[in-house]
Amino acid sequence: MAYKPGSVAVVGAAETSRIGVVPDMSQIMLHADAALNAMADAGLQPKDIDGLACVGQMMPQQIAHYLGITPRWVDGTGVGGCSFMLHVRHAAAAIAAGYATTVLITHGESGKSRVNATPRPPEPESLAGQFEAPFGPAGPATLFPIPVLRYMKATGTTHEHLAMVAVVQREWAAQNPRALFRERVTVEEVLASRMVAYPYRLLQCCPVTDGGGALILTAAERATDFPAPPVYLLGSGESVETTMVSQMEDFTSSRAFRVAGPTALKMAGVSHADVSHLMIYDAFAHLPLYGLEDLGFCGRGEAKDFIWEGNTRPGGKLPMNTNGGGLSYTHTGMYGMFALQESVRQVRGTAPAQVPDVKISVAHGVGGMFSSSGTVVFGKERP
């Protein structure tokens, strides 16, 4: 059974107490720290939670037991860094179906300190192990940017355009005390930073950090009974394509984006002009360009100029990645939770770099290079 736009709301939202480098917390404790903060935000205790979503195999069991939750609905969808967008979508459907009343979604990742972190062994029998790994990729910094040169050639995007993405996001991060990197940078400084994997230099790649976040969702009918103003879920979308970046259908556009984004906007019944705030998961500098175009905020090849001309920077007409983004705020490995948290803060009116009068916020996520996508549309008012 589908949920109706506005029938489910976020009533609790929080990140871990500390973020960035947190070597004194294991990965499961980062989940719990965020969950406890979100429950405090909503005035709830573990006994009040009857639905639980977290990323990956066996994780719902571990988190339920650790937090003392007895769920009657669980979701372990793990499709990479946008899994939380899918959890929100699935949780809303579960609430509408009566499978749960109060769903907790948690994320914790010791990406930097690697305390009890999930290992990622390459499987030489997997398709990626056979047809990508032998050619020397070493993690996301070598795989995620592989389509970039093709995108640049197809759209006339330059190295300077891609540097500007990092520059603008640092302007937002400068206003956020919790951001990992807060010093403003110039296009020249980005292009002078250390080469990581051509065409990308260090400042065009996200850091790897420790942290977590949690959300609590319930039916809109109950949502006004909680301490914080409700943030209504207006629409959502999801899709997957391939875990092998070499096998993407089109190197200049993500098929998963083109399914998830428009599905969410259509469900919400909002036009692009209605969107007052946008989060596009930016593990690397090209992702906001793909997101702006694949979600229809910009025409083909126009995202580079849209950003260059200042539309997404503070004071621009479409403020984007206002926490500083994965590039400057934090990136634990699965940043989608932090994009959702910033959307909730912006709609609540509690963000460090608050955009005036946010009525509609879109949080768009990517996972496992371009392998998956999830989009969530939040609103201040119940339609």
Partner 1 sequence: MESLHPFSLPLSELAEIPFTGSKPKPTPETMHFWEGCKNGKLLLQRCPDTGRAYFPPRPFSPFTGNRSVSVFEASGRATLHSYVIHHREVPGFTPPYAIAVVELEEGPRMMANIVECPQTPEALQLDMPLEVVFRPVDDSISLPLFRPLKEGA
Interface with partner 1 (CB under 8 A): 122, 124-125, 127, 129-138, 141-143, 145-150, 153, 194-200, 244-247, 251
Instruction: Using the minimum distance from each CB to partner 1, give the nearer residue, 121 or 177.
Output: 121
Non-local CB neighbours of 324 within 8 Å, separated by 6+ positions: 169, 170, 172, 173, 174, 176, 179, 180, 181, 182
Instruction: Using the minimum distance from each CB to partner 1, give the nearer residue, 199 or 262.
Output: 199
Closest distance of CB 252 from partner 1, Å: 10
Angle between helices 148-155 and 287-294 (to 10 degrees): 50
Instruction: Using the minimum distance from each CB to partner 1, give the nearer residue, 134 or 356.
Output: 134
Closest distance of CB 245 from partner 1, Å: 8
In single-letter form, the type of residue at position 46 comes to P
The Cα 112–Cα 180 span in angstroms is: 12
DSSP string, 102-118: EEEEEEEEETTT-SSPP
Closest distance of CB 330 from partner 1, Å: 22
Classify 279 as helix, strand or coil: strand
What torsion do the CA atoms of 109, 111, 113, 115 make, to the nearest 10 degrees? 40
Closest distance of CB 1 from partner 1, Å: 30
Residue 296 contacts residue 146 (beta carbons within 8 Å): no
Instruction: Using the minimum distance from each CB to partner 1, give the nearer residue, 2 or 127.
Output: 127
Token pair, residue 67, equals 């937090």
Closest distance of CB 194 from partner 1, Å: 8
Closest distance of CB 364 from partner 1, Å: 23
Spell out the long-range contacts of 56-60 with Cβ–Cβ below 8 A and sequence spacing 24 or more.
56/83, 56/118
Instruction: Using the minimum distance from each CB to partner 1, give the nearer residue, 199 or 229.
Output: 199
Instruction: Using the minimum distance from each CB to partner 1, give the nearer residue, 136 or 356.
Output: 136
